[in-house]
Amino acid sequence: MKKRNSVMEQVRAARKQSREEEIKAHGKSINYRKVTASKLLYNRKKNKADDEVLPYLLNVETKHSLSIY
CB 60 within 8 A of CB 53: no
Residue 1, in any domain of the structure: no
- Is residue 69 pLDDT above 60, yes or no? no
**Alpha helices per DSSP H over 1-69:** 6-26, 44-51, 63-66
Residue 53, in any domain of the structure: yes
Domain count, the chain: 1
**In which domain, by residue range, is 47 found?**
6-31+38-66
List pLDDT tens digits, range 50-59: 666 655 555 5
List pLDDT tens digits, range 7-22: 999 999 999 999 999 9
Average pLDDT over residues 25-44: 83
